[in-house]
Amino acid sequence: MIKKLLQLICGVVLLGSQVFPPASQAESNENGIDAPLSKLFVKYSDYLAFDEEKRSGFYPRYKLTAKEAASQDVVITFEYKGKEQRIDIDEEGYLLFSPTKQMLEDDPLVHIDQPQGTLRLNLQLGVRLDPALSYETPELHEHVHKAFKAAKSLGGFMAVFAPSHSNIKVGFDPACENPEATYEYDGRETNLAQPTKNQAIIPFKKDKKMRKRGTLKFSCVPVIAELS
């Protein structure tokens, strides 16, 4: 089984929701629109230019919203070195593709099967975590904080405000029925799960004790988490 990284998505928006692509950067036809790959993955070449060690804990994350289709049903393809590439999109609209430096330099046209003016692009900053059923809360809090500080230190479009504390919302796979999430400290347990929403809220922002000690335990490995 391939081990996937749990993606912790920050609430800091680096690029506000914008119409994609702007009319000046696209060619429209009856089958959809064509635009340069670099305009879909805006600023990703800047990210790749950073020192690999410094950027290893975080990454840009791109979300596409469509007016006339469910985001995951939008078809995005491009031709590269004689092969057709497809950019998959998850149910929340996040692009499941990371272009290489060479791809961005060659900058092929991507084709999107949606009319001009019906798409919006949003860029956020993600933090990587190893997937697990439990986390020591001081380590989790410190990891997130360090990732934001590293992003801020690189300057440019990554120079975002690094929050000292933030609540974290974790989500579980729909196949995980009645997910459980508890905070344990000194023999006591606090339920953090919201089963009807298939999620749990970790209240780091208001709970100073939780930031400094204790353990988080889940019945299923979270598939996504975000600062809230």
pLDDT tens-digit readout, 185-213: 999 999 999 988 888 999 988 888 999 99
Flag whether pLDDT at 92 surpasses 60: yes
- pLDDT bin (cut points 50, 70, 90) of residue 162 is very low
Note whether 105 and 179 are same-domain residues. no
Listed residues 100, 125, 150: the one ending a domain = 125
| Rounded CA separation 147/153 (Å) | 10
E strand or H helix at 191: strand 188-191
Q: The domain containing residue 72 runs over which residues?
A: 12-125
Note whether 192 and 102 are same-domain residues. no
Instruction: Give the dihedral sign, CA 203/208/211/214.
Output: negative
Note whether 119 and 200 are same-domain residues. no
Which of 48, 53, 57 has the alpha carbon at shortest distance from 156? 48
Q: Which residues, listed in sequence order, are joined to residue 110 by a DSSP beta bridge?
A: 35, 78
| Rounded CA separation 11/162 (Å) | 11
Residue 185's region, left for phi above 0, alpha for psi from -120 to 50, else beta, is: beta
Residue 117's region, left for phi above 0, alpha for psi from -120 to 50, else beta, is: left
Q: How many domains would you assign to the chain? A: 2
Mean pLDDT of 55-73: 89
Flag whether pLDDT at 17 surpasses 70: no
Q: What is the pTM for the complete model shown?
A: 0.75
In a domain, 46, yes or no: yes
In a domain, 6, yes or no: no
